[in-house]
Structure 1
Amino acid sequence: MRDGCVYVAGTCDTKGPELRYVRDIIAQEGLRTCIVDLSTRKSGGDVDVAAAEVASHHPDGPQAVFTADRGSSVNGMTVAFQHFMMARDDVAGLIGLGGSGGTTLVTAAMRALPIGTPKLMVSTVASSNVAGYVGPSDVTMMYSVTDIAGLNRISRVILGNAAHAIVGMARNPIPLETSDKPAIGLTMFGVTTSCITQVVGLLDRDFDCLVFHATGTGGQSMEKLATSRLVGGLLDLTTTEVCDLLMGGVFPCTEERFDAVATSRLPYVGSCGALDMVNFGARSSVPPAFRDRNFYEHNASVTLMRTTGEENRRMGLWIGEKLNRCDGPVRFFLPEGGVSALDAPGLPFHDPEADAAMFAALEETVRQTDDRRLIRVPHHINDAAFAEAAASQFRAIF
């Protein structure tokens, strides 16, 4: 069993009986528990950690939590609880119960905890888009079915299942594997799969290769591991999330993309992988402003839009400025033969002029040094020669 305590968190003034029900099931299984009250209006009664104690962990003091405005109070408690949990050294797991406000409050702390720490959120909003709650972390979301507003024949089952789930996770920890092979992160999309498969084949004898799907949170997850020093280098060959950030697609990165490269100074090999496409949902979901653009229906749920030369130039400038902040070893590849499986002669997104605009913008923007270099290659990103060049450069700077 994991040596520590299972924290049970929520607003005990409105969800006290439900939190205690979960606490009692966990305790009956022999695990140590701690109910943390996150109420911002009145005391939650039978708790182990009072709301005032949590609030005292806010960087600006408890007065930043207990305000006259409910919204600012919840925001303040969110910050305080995150700091409270990060100060614990005995976390065997964290389980939370809540509606939209409580889910926002608890999952912020969950995202701050290390990858691998059991985290389970029982929420009334878990059947909707939960990207904002989960982020780049391993938060488990469970839909509450009924509102968390009393114990009844349905809620007892759901909350009981959740309690037993966190017990199972806490009691049976899977340790992070230790190996002589350092872990490295790689980004991949369907249209760069061939590239990454070849790169992994060239490196996996000496490295533990962790591949991240570049769907917005994929890049965030990789960079979270980078800032946590859980990877020793990055092969960020698929930077497509920048397209969706700048052009309004459905798989955007955040404005913080590449910042982990700068702060960690890890060995970094990047490229323009899939920077030729913006992702939308079904064709009917594409904004009217883009009606006359070049589209490719990847499947019934994903429509791809070819980026223009102007958009590519904009991305080149944006990425270039980010790379200028990186003082560790950086190599960024410009594959002149095409940046995705759709960007090749005879294929729907083949547009050498658009790609050239991006490459030119990068070369105008990036301040190249011995450590920070752009590398033009005549190959397509999925060619064997490109994979060999990328792997070779990574070995050279690792």
Structure 2
Amino acid sequence: MAVLLIGTLDTKGRELEFLRDRLRSEGLRVLVIDAGSGDPVAIEADYPRDRVFEAAGSSLDSVHQHRDRGRAVTDAARGVARLVEQLVVEDNVEGILAIGGSAGTTIGTSAMRAAPFGLPKVMVSTLASGQTRPYVGGSDLMMLPSIADLAGLNGITRRVLTNAADAMIGMVQGQSKPDLHTRASDGKLITATMFGVTTPCVDRARNRLESQGAEVIVFHATGVGGQAMEQLIRDGLVDGVLDLTTTELADELVGGVLSAGPDRLSAAVSAGIPQVVSVGALDMVNFGPLETVPEIFRGRLLHLHNPTVTLMRTQADECEAIGHRMAQALRNARVETVVLIPELGVSALDAPGQPFFDPEADAALFSAIREGLKGSTHTRVESLPMHLNDPAFADVAVERLLAARKGMIQ
């Protein structure tokens, strides 16, 4: 077992040596991965740069020939991620520690996102106080601001690097070392998605599932939430999915700020996990404060959810496109998947007397889903004469998921 230490030895050699020695002083085995493309400084790597670029399907000679820094960073990120995936599978990894500026952060976090949930991950970065979502994604990695640039050892960088090393030492020595690929709830770990406007439904469903002995992990459907849930599914930790709040699809297709990316809804299908899916909060696209809404949308139906969140009602043509996208993602499920359609509304704002009540737009969404899933072997659509937040709707969702899980066990 070892801690992986990742960085560019051509520019961060002394800093990596400092970290390596601190980790070793507490009895940890350290494997250094050199993601640089220049001549190493200070120490030798256990996985030198030529191994990294070969893992990426490239070569160090090719990198030097093209003299393209962007390409070099892209190849290094891909190569390190593949090496980390291999080492994790071989069960040789206790934690991952990386340092860097923009390039090193791109490389280090790519490797961390390739590692499973629960494995300690610390990224010391000059970018840690800015927009970190592109680096963190749905991972549980930690980013520590370097304060000063990582260009030499001094009173500031020594303190920051020591804190990072000590954090890794504490996490590695303090963990009980569970098998990260073992399910946490004896085959009863369920993930669910929720938004404020779908909370009554998801809360009731969660309580019912917990009364049946399941452990339910609820994810806020804010883009990162959907990404994190799908990463847990890919890591093999999930046994069933109650994906009732798929609002992130609207942001992805229309242009809101809470997209979970183009692969949303793909993980459970690929993993062969039973799921119940619905259309919660697909009546809305999310933006920040009103003044941040793009000019192209200023004439649309907008609702101030709070001072920092502005919601925009999806139109019929957008709902139709979202429905087709959902059907495309779910059509090829390999195990039982149920799509529940609440005919009387998809969120707290989509009900009679509420600002987003629009039966025509909802009908376009529902029709596209039904049409797109015709002939699917394992995915079926069930329409219910209920609102999504009706207690009975949550009860049906739970019953369908439990039945699908029972079918898998049998």
Equivalent of residue 168 in structure 2, options 161, 166, 169: 166
Equivalent of residue 219 in structure 2, options 212, 219, 233: 212
Equivalent residue letter for 2:84: M
1:60 CA drift (Å):
4.8
- Residue in 2 aligned with 1:136? 138
1:292 CA drift (Å):
1.3
- Residue in 2 aligned with 1:360? 367
Equivalent of residue 24 in structure 1, options 18, 21, 26: 21
Deviations 1:21-73 (A, max 9, x none): 12222222222222222111222341232222333323455556554222212
1:86 CA drift (Å):
1.6
Equivalent of residue 290 in structure 2, options 283, 287, 291: 283
Equivalent residue letter for 1:198: R
* SS of 2:155 mapped into structure 1: coil
Change (3 A) 1:366 1:64: farther
- Residue in 2 aligned with 1:184? 190
Between 1:59-68 and 1:359-368, the stretch displaced more is 59-68
Equivalent residue letter for 1:87: Q
CA distance in 2, matches of 1:66, 1:57: 16
1:180 CA drift (Å):
3.0
- Residue in 2 aligned with 1:48? 45
| Contact 2:333 2:378 survives alignment (8 Å) | no
| Contact 1:17 1:151 survives alignment (8 Å) | yes
- Residue in 1 aligned with 2:208? 202
Between 1:280-289 and 1:360-369, the stretch displaced more is 360-369
Equivalent residue letter for 1:248: G
* SS of 1:127 mapped into structure 2: coil
- Residue in 1 aligned with 2:408? none
- Percent identical residues: 43
- Residue in 2 aligned with 1:245? 252
CA distance in 2, matches of 1:376, 1:66: 59
Deviations 1:217-260 (A, max 9, x none): 21222222222221011111000000100111000021112222
Equivalent residue letter for 2:94: A
Change (3 A) 1:181 1:372: closer
| Contact 2:37 2:49 survives alignment (8 Å) | yes
CA distance in 1, matches of 2:123, 2:233: 25
Equivalent of residue 120 in structure 2, options 109, 118, 121: 118
Change (3 A) 1:97 1:38: same
CA distance in 1, matches of 2:336, 2:16: 49
Equivalent residue letter for 1:57: A
* SS of 1:87 mapped into structure 2: helix
1:334 CA drift (Å):
0.8
Equivalent residue letter for 2:263: E
Please provide the CA RMSD for this pair.
1.7
CA distance in 2, matches of 1:342, 1:186: 20
Equivalent residue letter for 2:130: S
| Contact 1:144 1:155 survives alignment (8 Å) | yes
CA distance in 2, matches of 1:188, 1:178: 21
Deviations 1:155-203 (A, max 9, x none): 1111111111111111111536744352111111111111111001111
- Residue in 1 aligned with 2:151? 149
Equivalent of residue 331 in structure 1, options 334, 338, 363: 338
Q: How does 1:99-118 map to 2 (within 5 A)?
A: 99-118=101-120
CA distance in 1, matches of 2:60, 2:150: 27
Structure 1: runs of 5 or more not aligned: none
Change (3 A) 1:255 1:348: same
Between 1:159-168 and 1:363-372, the stretch displaced more is 363-372
| Contact 1:136 1:220 survives alignment (8 Å) | yes
CA distance in 1, matches of 2:114, 2:64: 23
Deviations 1:337-380 (A, max 9, x none): 21111111111111112111111111222124563211111111
- Residue in 2 aligned with 1:316? 323
- Residue in 2 aligned with 1:75? 74
| Contact 1:182 1:206 survives alignment (8 Å) | yes
Q: How does 1:84-103 map to 2 (within 5 A)?
A: 84-88=83-87, 89-103=91-105
Give the TM-score normalised by the residue count of structure 1. Answer: 0.95
- Residue in 1 aligned with 2:262? 255
Aligned residues: 395
Change (3 A) 1:83 1:374: same
Deviations 1:248-289 (A, max 9, x none): 100002111222232112111000000000000111000011
